[in-house]
Amino acid sequence: MIWLLDVPGAALFAGGIALAVSALAGGDGISLLAACMILAGGLIRGGAALLVHASAIRTAQRVVRAWRAHLFPLLLAGRLARPLLAGESAALAIDHMATIEAYQSRFRPARAASAATPLLVAAIVAFASWVSAAILVITLIPFALGMILAGTAARRASERQLAALAQLSGLFVDRVRTLPVIRHFGAEDRITRQVGIATREVAERTVAVLRVAFLSGAVLEFFAALSVALVAVYCGFSLLGLLPFPAPEKLTLGQAFFALAMAPEFYLPMRRLAAAYHEKQLGDAASAALTAVEAETPEPPTSARFDGLQVTGLVIQWPNLHIGPVSFALAPADMVALTGPTGSGKSSLLASIAGQIIPSAGAVRTAGGGVLDPGDIAWAAQTPLLLPGTLAENIALARPDAGTDEIARVASQVGLDALLAARGGLALALDHRGSGLSGGERRRIGLARAILSGRPLLLCDEPTADLDAESGAEIVDLLKALARDRAVLVVTHDPALAAAARLEVAL
Amino acid sequence: MNVFTLDPAGCRWLRRASIAAVAAALAGILLLAVSGWFLTSAALAGAAGPVVALGFNYLIPSAGIRLLAILRTVSRYGERLFSHQAALGAMAGMRGSLFGKLAAQDARTGSDLSGGDASARLIGDIDALEDLIVRKPARPASLVAAGIGVLLAAFAGWASAVALLLLLIALPLLLDRAARRLTKQPAHDAAEALGALRTRYVEYAAARAEIAAYGLADRVTQDLAPLTQALDTARARLHRGEGAIAALLAGYTGLAVAIVLLFSSGPAPQVALALLATAGAIEAMAGLARTAFRQASVSEGLRRLEALLALPEPAATQAGGKPLPLRLGALRLEPGSRVAVTGRSGSGKTLLLEALAGMRAVEVDAAIGEQPPIAQPGTLLRSQFALSPQDAALIAGTIGDNLRLARPGLDNAAMWAALKTVVLDERIGAMPAGLDTRLGEAGGTLSGGERKRLSLARALLAGRPWLLLDEPTEGLDAATERKLVVQLDQWLRETGTGLVLVSHRAAPLSLVGSSVAIERLAPRPV
């Protein structure tokens, strides 16, 4: 409601000008009061601008905080319909949030203001000249019709433009991403030409689209200008006494001038709204993308005790990826390896077994046919998560109540002894970057965490990738030992690890 | 701001946009000013009695007012359209030349922008250009509006005109100072906070599986909270700063109009004209204010683009496609020979292939044409090797687009022949759109193994003397693998192509006569 403050400021400003002009015309000289009103009007409008901006951003950020509170856990840990690359996830959680903030802080207040302010302006003008107020309100009718006609075409046109631009950006991103292979085949000239032609085509198409899209802007401009012109001409002829019809009201110069000076205020909110239209489009697109992510993520029903894993006909079918159907059984003390080439979606399959991604078809059950309890699953990642804190805290992330002895025991079990001796034991402080830990050490921390969690099903994502031969062999031995008293499921493209498993399932 | 140069057509559009913007600003000011003058004169004439009123020439001003209303509409439309035309043209040119620049870099030395994040940022930077160009015509429009404002103020007396002139000269300086004060620090803070948040978030997103498995979402969200808080604070300051600039303009309008009034000495109609013209002239400065305000946020991106455009163009030294001998460690291979590279996973076999393909700078005990690959120009490496990498590395587009990447002037027959060799002809022949099927869209969903074979077909089509294959049959069933190996063997024999193979599977290893242990070659990234 703060934006309503702008109107009294504008009215004071217009009143000051009207007073000054009528005082001069009446031979009273320069009115000091008028100058003060003009200045005060300007200051009030300035104050309104300050307050509107401050409150708009406060509201917008409240909305964004609510989004984040609900989106971050979903994106970082919830059940998703499709796996997201880290970059995609960041685009949703960070860039789309910025877009929504802009939508909330620019478009929303402008829309709210455009609903009520014109009528308030007309009401104020009506005090000076009800005919002028009526003229302003009447121009709204053809304006609305024009906006419906031009606006619908413009909206469709600009949606097409947005889609074309998004597609072009996609092409550009893809070609930059695949530059190494493009260069390798010596295709850079051809692809550069192709990118050049595509961008030029989109630019030309966009211009054609904009011709239509800007029409609604032109309609707005036209009626904004026309309303001022009509008020000026009516008031002028009324003051001259030359109206071609009986004068409906007796106007003084002051009243007429006030009506004229207020006339541009009538369409001002609509013009501000039009200026925020881009934010609206982007905001709508962002909301749609976010809503698509949070769609259909049903919580699995109550779960059963873990007595082995039964995967039946599991299929993953996304654009760019097709896996399965995959079926296999895993006993409570057992090891199975899922193997396949890089990029074949092994990690996604593992995530859908863990219930983090909804598979396209098939079922993941306990051997007894119950629903797998998420609390029974331990996950050893390729690059394990490290949070700021000590090494002990990081190992105990899954079981913060674990005692120091227990932590020390699993640390030694996964072969972290050398690290502990060299770097000051379990109290070693870690930061996000991993404080100089090697890839192998980091992976051992992940394994230690999984073991300490005491969960009966261990899922391992490429546990030996990028390790030197010796550490790789140690990890394989460790996993073999672990498989004696728990169910271990690994995805790997390491033949040595695959050979250690009871069963290899090739994807 | 010479980050891009508009082509002549772009300059022409921008000139037209500026003319239209000037016309729109003039029409806007005159519409109000003439209306005010007309109203006041009409009142005076009306008050003087019917005779004077009838003698008052109302036709010209009232027609002028309507004309100005139309002129403002048309020229505003023209400004928007022409400036977008200039901007879109410039952005298209920018995208094209920037891509060309990136593409021409040697992958081994060029700046690394292949990460999705970096390229997405690049897109954002180019988009910022649009805003920059579209706002350009506002500058001359503001200046002309200011000039005409001063001129109209002179009707109210020279003192008013001088006062307004001084106020209008001071305003851009004031805006610039205020914008710098209000935006520099928050814009910097926002960029920093955004960078920190993105880095941390991407780390967490990569560790999603663990966060989900161990229920660490709250813990991680808490850890991100200070970063989002810092970002929000900086953004809120920026937004409030924008409000402060708007407030400054509004207050300044009041001040200027009041001062012009106080200094006025002319008759009422002229003063009315001057007052409304003053308000209009300052309103026209809003364009300048916006430019000043956005400057801090935009200049960062422009600097990045500038740095990219300043990259040197590497010299092209095409050495022709004559097959050259290859040496791997002690093993000397004449063109047409076949060799397997053995060693455990992670020991650098892929690194060797990438070094030969010219994709990475790697020190390795190997030579092509008597020189280590790192010492050879990229063009020579490309004329010798065709790689089918471990991840298929397909480009977005159709199956045909991917195959045509291999070599210019490929016809459909050649592509189908290559697909037949890699046992994909039936699968792709069954797709309704065949070679024109878009990857990833309905019907064009290839499995991991199929993508691999498509990438293999592409390498075959390149027609280079040496084929580099990284696990070509991974993910294949035994029957398909056998068929592929037989057909590949025949293709290698017929074309006399050499083969460097990385594989741990028995079937493809039957293709090669000799092998070399990767440990002997000691590949090491530089």
Residue B5 confidence (pLDDT): 65
Decide if B319 is inside a domain: no
Which alpha helices (H) appear in B310-393, and where do they start and end? Answer: 349-357, 378-384
Give the least confident one: A218-227, A316-325, B427-436. A316-325
Asked if B43 and A239 count as a contact pair (C-beta separation under 8 A), the reply is yes
Contact A385 B448 (CB under 8 A): no
- Given a cut of 80, whether residue B525 has pLDDT beyond it is no
* Residue A373, C-beta contacts closer than 8 angstroms, at least 6 positions apart: A303, A304, A305, A306
Q: Which pair of structure tokens corresponds to residue A475?
A: 């990890």
Question: CB of B217 within 8 Å of any CB in chain A?
Answer: yes
Q: How far apart are CA A346 and CA A463, in angstroms?
A: 13
- Given a cut of 60, whether residue B118 has pLDDT beyond it is no
Least CB-CB distance to B40: which of A25, A36, A169? A25
B260 and B383 housed in the same domain: no
Decide if B118 is inside a domain: yes
Residue B120 confidence (pLDDT): 57
CA-based nearest residue in chain A for residue B92:
A199
B235 and B356 housed in the same domain: no
Q: Report the mean per-residue pLDDT for chain A.
A: 85
Q: If you average pLDDT over residues A102-119, what whole number do you get?
A: 91
Decide if B320 is inside a domain: no
Q: Do domains A85-293 and A309-506 have the same CATH topology?
A: no
Least CB-CB distance to B123: which of A45, A172, A211? A172
Question: CB of B275 within 8 Å of any CB in chain A?
Answer: yes
- CA pseudo-torsion sign A168, A172, A178, A180: positive
How many domains would you assign to chain B? 2
Contact A232 B65 (CB under 8 A): yes
Q: Residue A474: pLDDT band by 50, 70, 90 thresholds?
A: confident
Q: List pLDDT tens digits, range A43-60.
A: 999 999 999 999 999 999
Q: How far is the alpha carbon of A492 from chain B, nearest alpha carbon, in Å?
A: 10
Q: Which residues of A touch B95 (CB under 8 A)?
A: 168, 172, 195-196, 199
Pick the last residue of a domain from B309, B337, B357.
B309
Contact A235 B202 (CB under 8 A): no
B201 and B348 housed in the same domain: no
Least CB-CB distance to B206: which of A22, A86, A221? A86
Single out the residue of A330, A322, A311 nearest to residue A488, CA to CA.
Answer: A330
Asked if B302 and B133 count as a contact pair (C-beta separation under 8 A), the reply is no
Q: How far is the alpha carbon of A422 from chain B, nearest alpha carbon, in Å?
A: 26
B118 and B179 housed in the same domain: yes
Residue A275 confidence (pLDDT): 80
Give the least confident one: A73-87, A110-124, B325-339. A73-87
DSSP state of B416: H
Interface of B with A in 191-210 (CB under 8 A): 194, 197-198, 200-210
B262 and B366 housed in the same domain: no
Single out the residue of B359, B375, B379 nearest to residue B367, CA to CA.
Answer: B375
Residue B317 confidence (pLDDT): 46
At residue A192, what are phi and psi to the nearest 5 degrees? -60, -45
In terms of pLDDT, which residue wins out, B186 or A344? Answer: B186
Least CB-CB distance to B36: which of A72, A257, A343? A257
B239 and B339 housed in the same domain: no
pTM: 0.80
* Residue A232, C-beta contacts closer than 8 angstroms, at least 6 positions apart: A260, A263, B35, B38, B39, B62, B65
Task: Find the length of chain B.
Answer: 526
- CA pseudo-torsion sign A391, A394, A396, A401: positive
- Given a cut of 80, whether residue B71 has pLDDT beyond it is yes
Question: CB of A250 within 8 Å of any CB in chain B?
Answer: no
Residue A320 confidence (pLDDT): 62
Decide if B214 is inside a domain: yes
* Residue A149, C-beta contacts closer than 8 angstroms, at least 6 positions apart: none
In terms of pLDDT, which residue wins out, B407 or B228? Answer: B228
Least CB-CB distance to A94: which of B61, B198, B358? B198
Q: Residue A433: pLDDT band by 50, 70, 90 thresholds?
A: low
Q: If you average pLDDT over residues A93-100, what whole number do you get?
A: 88
Angle, CA B160 vertex, CA B155 and CA B163 arms, to 5° = 145
B252 and B128 housed in the same domain: yes
Q: List pLDDT tens digits, range B248-257.
A: 999 999 999 9
Q: How far apart are CA B450 and CA B330, in angstroms?
A: 36
Question: CB of B359 within 8 Å of any CB in chain A?
Answer: yes
Q: Which amino acid is at A279?
A: E
Chains A and B: how many Cβ contacts under 8 Å? 490
Domain holding B348, by residue range, is 326-525
Residue A122 confidence (pLDDT): 95
Question: CB of B307 within 8 Å of any CB in chain A?
Answer: no
Q: If you average pLDDT over residues A165-193, what whole number do you get?
A: 79
Interface of A with B in 347-406 (CB under 8 A): 347, 350-351, 354, 356, 374, 377-379, 381, 383-385, 387-388, 397-398
Give the least confident one: A139-143, B284-288, B325-329, B342-346. B342-346
Residue B162 confidence (pLDDT): 95
B208 and B258 housed in the same domain: yes
3-state secondary structure of A93: helix
**In chain A, domain spans:** 85-293, 309-506
- To probe the interface with A, which of B108, B111, B183, B214 has the most A CB atoms within 10 Å? B214
Residue A206 confidence (pLDDT): 77
Q: If you average pLDDT over residues A59-68, what whole number do you get?
A: 94
Q: What Rg, from alpha-carbon coordinates, does chain B have?
A: 35
CATH number at residue B370: 3.40.50.300
Residue B474 confidence (pLDDT): 73
Q: How far is the alpha carbon of A120 from chain B, nearest alpha carbon, in Å?
A: 20
Q: If you average pLDDT over residues A240-269, what whole number do you get?
A: 89
CATH superfamily of A85-293: ABC transporter type 1, transmembrane domain (1.20.1560.10)
Q: If you average pLDDT over residues A18-22, what whole number do you get?
A: 93
Record: fold of A309-506:
Rossmann fold (3.40.50)
- Given a cut of 70, whether residue B124 has pLDDT beyond it is no
- Given a cut of 90, whether residue A296 has pLDDT beyond it is no
B244 and B344 housed in the same domain: no
B355 and B266 housed in the same domain: no
Q: Residue A297: pLDDT band by 50, 70, 90 thresholds?
A: low
Q: List pLDDT tens digits, range A213-241.
A: 788 888 888 888 889 889 998 998 898 88
Residue B206 confidence (pLDDT): 82
Least CB-CB distance to B73: which of A75, A222, A449? A222
Question: CB of A500 within 8 Å of any CB in chain B?
Answer: no
Asked if A240 and B53 count as a contact pair (C-beta separation under 8 A), the reply is yes
Q: Which pair of structure tokens corresponds to residue A144?
A: 């609305």
Listing DSSP states for A251-293 in one string gives --HHHHHHHHHHHHHHHHHHHHHHHTHHHHHHHHHHHHHHHHH
B235 and B345 housed in the same domain: no
Question: CB of B228 within 8 Å of any CB in chain A?
Answer: yes
Decide if B3 is inside a domain: no
CA-based nearest residue in chain B for residue A389:
B223
Decide if B1 is inside a domain: no
Interface of A with B in 430-489 (CB under 8 A): 432, 446, 449, 453, 459, 461, 464-469, 472
- Percent of residues, chain B, with pLDDT higher than 70: 91
- Given a cut of 90, whether residue B444 has pLDDT beyond it is no
Q: If you average pLDDT over residues A250-255, what whole number do you get?
A: 90
Q: How far is the alpha carbon of A374 from chain B, nearest alpha carbon, in Å?
A: 7
Q: Residue A250: pLDDT band by 50, 70, 90 thresholds?
A: confident
Decide if B321 is inside a domain: no
Question: CB of B239 within 8 Å of any CB in chain A?
Answer: yes
* Residue B319, C-beta contacts closer than 8 angstroms, at least 6 positions apart: B377, B379, B380, B383
In terms of pLDDT, which residue wins out, B475 or A195? Answer: A195
- Percent of residues, chain B, with pLDDT higher than 90: 30
CATH number at residue B240: 1.20.1560.10
Residue B121 confidence (pLDDT): 61
Q: How far apart are CA B238 and CA B246, in angstroms?
A: 13
Q: How far is CA B100 from CA A175, A179, A181, B95, B377, in A?
A: 11, 11, 15, 8, 19
Decide if B33 is inside a domain: yes
At residue A283, what are phi and psi to the nearest 5 degrees? -65, -45
CA-based nearest residue in chain A for residue B45:
A240
- Given a cut of 90, whether residue B321 has pLDDT beyond it is no
Measured from the Cβ of residue A59, the count of other Cβ atoms closer than 10 Å reads 14
Q: Which residues of B touch A196 (CB under 8 A)?
A: 92, 95-96, 99-100
